[in-house]
Amino acid sequence: MKTINGLPEKNKNKKTTGRFGGVRENETDRAGGNGAARENESGRGAEYVNAQGKYDRTRGEIRKGDRNPGLAQNNYAAIDLGTNSCRLVVATPTTTSFRVVETFSKVVRLGEGIIQDNELSPKAMRRTIQALKICRGVIDEYMPIAASRFVATAACRRAKNVAQFAEMAKREAGIELEVISSKEEARLSVVGCLPLLNRNIKRVLVFDIGGGSTQISLARVTDNGKTFIEGFVSLPYGVVTISEAFAGHEMSTLEYSTVVERTQAILQEFEDKHHIREAIANQEIQVIGTSGTVTVIGAVHLKLPRYNRSAVDGIAISAPDIDFTINKIKTMGPEGRCKHPCIGQSKSDLTIAGCAIIEALTTFWPISEITVADRGIREGILLDMMHARRVNAAGHGKKKRRSGRFPFDRRGSGGQSDRRNGGNVQYKHKR
């Protein structure tokens, strides 16, 4: 079957009615919560599914002045399919960045039970295919799509039956998934968080706590504005795999401490290689966290009555306040977390698992504050694709290049590449 930017040709003119079933998440997505919706970045519109399954949908406006005239008629689509959630964003480029047209997110728990036999279960695959069908419908509404990239991460990397699932996704949902490496996942997380960088700080440590793995990346910004990754480490677990290891009961103090200690043992290897403790103590490295747990901490810290992305994204929380908020979340207990408007039942256990990883970071390194990011891989994909389009539009695209590489500095890349992802992943390697 022919594909157009990863989208099956047979669907390119298909329009959907907007009648989507299931629980759908709005601004409660990254932080949890019991509501569900599709929403646009303006905050004025969402297709909200309430407890009775009814919804009301509106869209935000894209004003003509917001568009780059050279890229005016096209939208971009990105999907981040993780161990726990399926997330879609459709956006249109502006003169300096992009404006989100619509987002969709659904907890699918694709990696449920994967720690048992390294396979995706039939139930998990069916749940995820249903979410991908919704994504397909949303994308069809915003055709033409200038470029798209649909990535899958830890659960699919680990699963022995990933080929079967990918074929199902393409056949039943019209979504062609790309299973990316942990290195590429780390790079995209950094790219997605770059807009939150403090211009006075030249180095950044980005941690992205996923469902099945956790990426920690150290990056440097050069004087000419380019960025290269000095190093990264991928923890072989995330909030879903930790939660399933202690399924059926609240994590005990000993079990929580075990996660902290195991994480710190891996961090010690990273520290031995990169020696960043002193730089962090001197506040020469900005620390950015992106995950559902990080945004939960931000929302609980701000005492929000309901999760609000614009209030949380980009705020800096001091280490003492992070410690206080983590303890507050832990003492809520399962019932309290389920009832909390910024956590909810779907992420009650996952939040505790994520808190253990964050506590490992804040107690291992002398971190003074963490910048909260309600952004990550999806936004990194968008910035990649839009940058490549601008380069080509400016006449610098004589050599055919993949749509999807943000301008990282090539110094020290040593010619290494992640061939599975279509080119040179620009990392710095010590010689």
Quick check: 192 and 380 in contact, CB under 8 A?
Answer: yes
* Rounded Cα–Cα distance for residues 285 and 219 (Å): 9
Task: List CB contacts of 320: < 8 A, sequence separation 6 or more.
Answer: none
* Rounded Cα–Cα distance for residues 192 and 385 (Å): 12
pLDDT score of 395: 65
* Rounded Cα–Cα distance for residues 320 and 301 (Å): 11
* Rounded Cα–Cα distance for residues 158 and 407 (Å): 30
Domains of the chain: 3-180 (3.30.420.40), 193-373 (3.30.420.150), 379-421 (no CATH)
pLDDT score of 95: 81
Quick check: 112 and 158 in contact, CB under 8 A?
Answer: no
pLDDT score of 21: 32
β-bridge pairing 316-318 and 369-373: antiparallel
* Residue in this structure with the two tokens 């003509």, named with its chain if needed: 64
pLDDT score of 96: 79
pLDDT score of 246: 87
pLDDT, tens only, 236-276: 999 999 999 988 788 999 999 999 999 999 999 999 999 99
Residues of the chain falling short of pLDDT 50: 1-72, 397, 399-431
pLDDT, tens only, 21-42: 333 333 334 444 433 344 433 3
Alpha-carbon separation of residue 167 from 87, 118, 301, 347, 424 (angstroms): 19, 18, 43, 29, 27
Global pTM reads 0.78
Whether cis (ω within 30° of 0) applies to the bond prior to 334 is: no
Q: Which residues of 118-152 are buried (b: 16+ CB within 10 A; e: fewer)?
A: ebbbeebbebbbbbbbbbbbbbbbbbebbbbbbbb
* Rounded Cα–Cα distance for residues 368 and 356 (Å): 18
* Rounded Cα–Cα distance for residues 288 and 308 (Å): 19
Q: Environment class of residue 41 by beta-carbon count within 10 Å: exposed (0-12), middle (13-18) or buried (19+)?
A: middle
pLDDT score of 73: 57
* Rounded Cα–Cα distance for residues 385 and 151 (Å): 13
pLDDT score of 312: 97
pLDDT score of 387: 86
By three-state DSSP, how is residue 21 classified? coil
* Residue in this structure with the two tokens 């009648």, named with its chain if needed: 19
pLDDT, tens only, 121-130: 999 999 999 9
